[in-house]
């Protein structure tokens, strides 16, 4: 049996713009983790800053691929979900998590729905309700502040006024799931995350410099590194540290290039560094 951790990744594939599977696959691979994609949709570009993108809904393929994998009794270290095309896909993802959990799999749900106080263009209220139901299945959720408000069913301003500690505790639903809330700033010029670890009930913070601008794809980059570090045996806090550090590194590399924001965060040249950090450095016990 291979010792390489294996992750089932349920996200969209956007051809241009750097997000979801074009981040998840290279990041997990660089970290020494086998990524098995279950694409929810193919889009020519992501939906942030581009108009006229194509959208091929892959719900039927998703259901068929999951059924095939179940028939093969495939096992995974984690199921990691992100951007969904419709509410049905979230039900399928929840069902797949329940299957994989029987074999000991961790469920990481990035409840991708929006950012900066606004829903992504393709998300409907019905999809947000389905995402909340999917998040019920999670061992760990990784919302940004917009998604936290949606999960807490609070107006954005009200949710943002909660202290990060209160927010993650409320999002944990009485300690049922771990939470890494992103977009948390604890000092001037800083950004990072608040982490609620359900294994010991503690809240901790990771904080790095906010460099440049809010590049597209940073949420996917953060959650992918986090997931990779966790399945390699790191603690939640160490995994969040590594994720925040790598996002900062990539932001510092991207900022001076002055690329259009919609082209995303220029992480590819830094994957070698991530691979070295994942193998030996802080953020990973393996
Ligand atoms: O990064 C989140 C994301 C993922 N997938 C698609 C998106 C977005 C955000 O805009 O449009 C297709």
Is 62:37 a contact under the CB 8 Å cutoff?
A: no
Element (H, E) at 81: strand 78-81
Q: Whose CA is nearest to atom 10 of ligand 1?
A: 48
Q: What is the position in ligand 1's atom list of the atom closest to the CA of 14? A: 12
Cα 191 to ligand 1 centroid, rounded to whole Å: 21
β-strand partners of 119: 114
Q: What is the position in ligand 1's atom list of the atom closest to the CA of 43? A: 12
Q: Whose CA is nearest to atom 8 of ligand 1?
A: 46
Residue pLDDT, tens place only, 54-63? 999 999 999 9
Nearest to 277 by CA among 239, 251, 248: 239
Residue pLDDT, tens place only, 265-285? 999 999 999 999 998 854 444
* Three-class secondary structure of residue 217 per DSSP: coil
pLDDT in tens, the chain (286 residues): 579 999 999 999 999 999 999 999 999 999 999 999 999 999 999 999 999 999 999 999 999 999 999 999 999 999 999 999 999 999 999 999 999 999 999 999 999 999 999 999 999 999 999 999 999 999 999 999 999 999 999 999 999 999 999 999 999 999 999 999 999 999 999 999 999 999 999 999 999 999 989 999 999 999 999 999 999 999 999 999 999 999 999 999 999 999 999 999 999 999 999 999 998 854 444 3
Q: How far apart are CA 26 and CA 21, in angstroms?
A: 8
β-strand partners of 14: 43
DSSP string covering 188-216 = TTEEEEEEEETTTTEEEEEEEE--SS--T
Cα 12 to ligand 1 centroid, rounded to whole Å: 8
To the question of pTM greater than 0.95 for the whole model, the response is yes
């Amino acid at each position: 049996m291979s010792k390489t951790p294996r992750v089932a990744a349920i996200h969209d594939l956007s051809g241009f713009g750097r997000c979801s599977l074009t981040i998840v696959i290279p990041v997990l691979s660089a970290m020494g983790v086998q990524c098995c994609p279950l694409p929810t949709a193919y889009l020519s570009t992501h939906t942030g800053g581009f108009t006229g993108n194509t959208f091929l809904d892959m719900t039927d393929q998703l259901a068929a691929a999951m059924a095939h994998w179940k028939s093969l009794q495939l096992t995974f270290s984690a199921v990691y979900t992100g951007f969904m095309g419709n509410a049905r896909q979230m039900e399928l993802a929840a069902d797949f998590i329940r299957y994989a959990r029987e074999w000991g799999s961790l469920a990481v749900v990035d409840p991708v729905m929006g950012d900066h106080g606004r829903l992504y263009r393709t998300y409907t209220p019905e999809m947000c309700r389905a995402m909340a139901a999917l998040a019920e299945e999670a061992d760990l959720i990784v919302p940004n502040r917009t998604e936290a408000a949606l999960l807490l069913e609070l107006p954005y301003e009200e949710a943002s006024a909660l202290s990060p500690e209160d927010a993650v505790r409320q999002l944990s639903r009485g300690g049922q799931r771990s939470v890494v809330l992103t977009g948390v700033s604890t000092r001037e010029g800083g950004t990072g995350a608040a982490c609620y670890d359900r294994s010991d009930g503690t809240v901790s913070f990771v904080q790095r410099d906010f460099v440049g601008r809010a590049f597209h794809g940073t949420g996917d980059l953060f959650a992918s590194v986090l997931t990779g570090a966790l399945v390699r045996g790191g603690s939640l806090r160490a995994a969040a540290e590594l994720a925040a550090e790598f996002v900062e590194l990539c932001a510092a590399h991207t900022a001076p290039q002055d690329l259009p924001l919609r082209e995303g965060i220029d992480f590819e040249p830094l994957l070698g560094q991530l691979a070295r950090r994942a193998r030996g450095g802080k953020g990973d016990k393996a």
